[in-house]
Copies of this chain bind each other. A is one copy, B any other.
């Protein structure tokens, strides 16, 4: 804690100004700390760098002319509504459309139990806000989404990671962790899980495990928060059945249009048991009054007038090509000792470096060679992850992905030679900071 507070102060005095308010912040502000790698990502956004770091969807694939007409038409037909305040819960018609989208994953829901949020990030924030007292335990896959860990940290939750493998979260490990927490007298508030094409691991929770995990959580009285931004972006066959489909009272489901349409409107949602929904609406109103009516109606208009299922299909094909480009070049170019996951959807590959290599030490060298990734430590709330890194295939075109992987392979090979010669990874950047950075660099 002291270490984190120090980091905050360092960042605040940057630019040689002293923070007059340093003694006056809330205790929770100590959990809001800028990542050390942030400065590097500013460099990484230069055009000559192939960024395999960000989670930005490829919105250029959208029919921009259609979207332009659609928003103009929205102002012409419904301007006084689109430009006005809306309700805290969100536009009723959009909430119906959201239920239609969720039906693709086996969910039967009442639009009245949906709350529209400023991206699913805000849904995460509000869920954490209504459930977490400082010190409460949140269970999360290890690794897990960096933005969720940041939010949990901002509310002073204690994140306990649960092991996962190629079939996703491990039910036995989950049961054991819950038992350990109970023995220690710790209060678990919820399990946070990304079942499909997990960020950052790229793995998917096996269907047979889903029932087991629901049973384990039900028995222990642990709410499940199912975060599913990528569920419709599977590369093989139909979308998998959501956890929420089999347990309406035990699961809060979070969805988003950021990956299936466009993040620029910031429209996500939470589907929650009715009583929890009541609290979410109050929390929403206290946080932002209401989401942008314009954004909500624009998304609603897109769903109502455009072949959105076809749009998702075309996104799937686009991302599958990029996944193939990445897996193909990893296979062809990475030195022995590197391993990686093989995602069946979504945006991310999770890579493990040969023993002794450190992904954070690697990053400045990689950026110097004009390729960027996210070091693994950001995806853990504890000190794990140094041997891992996340590679995104969502944004660069296939040739750029191959070029990026080629550059990265070169950097890793060089680092391996140093390691073999001197028996250690190069020391730069090894003083790890485990606080998350935003996921959108």
Tell me the A residues contacting B by CB distance below 8 Å: 8, 11-15, 17-22, 24-29, 32-34, 56-57, 59-60, 62, 64-65, 67-69, 71-76, 79-86, 88, 118-119, 121-122, 125, 129-133, 136, 147, 150-151, 153-155, 189, 221, 223, 249, 258, 262-266, 273-276, 278-279, 282-283, 285-295, 298, 438-440
14 A-B pairs (CB sep. < 8 Å):
A19-B276, A20-B275, A32-B282, A56-B85, A57-B84, A59-B84, A67-B75, A68-B73, A81-B264, A118-B118, A121-B288, A122-B288, A125-B286, A150-B285
The distance in angstroms between the C-alpha atoms of A62 and B287, with both chains bound, is: 27
Are A154 and B62 in touch, CB under 8 angstroms?
no
Whole-angstrom distance from the CB of A239 to the nearest CB of chain B? 23
* Contact A274 to B15, CB < 8 A, known contacts A75-B64, A129-B28, A282-B32: yes
Are A285 and B438 in touch, CB under 8 angstroms?
yes
Going nearest first, the 9 A-B pairs with the smallest beta carbon separation are: A19-B275, A68-B75, A72-B72, A83-B264, A83-B262, A12-B275, A64-B79, A32-B282, A264-B293
* Main secondary structure on A side of the interface with B: helix
Set B24, B121, B249: member contacting A289, Cβ < 8 A: B121
* Contact A60 to B32, CB < 8 A, known contacts A26-B132, A275-B20, A440-B290: no
Are A21 and B276 in touch, CB under 8 angstroms?
yes
The distance in angstroms between the C-alpha atoms of A263 and B27, with both chains bound, is: 33
Are A273 and B64 in touch, CB under 8 angstroms?
no
Determine the chain B residues whose CB is within 8 A of the CB of A275 once the complex forms: 12-13, 17-22
Are B69 and A83 in touch, CB under 8 angstroms?
no
Set B80, B285, B292: member contacting A295, Cβ < 8 A: B292
Are A76 and B65 in touch, CB under 8 angstroms?
yes
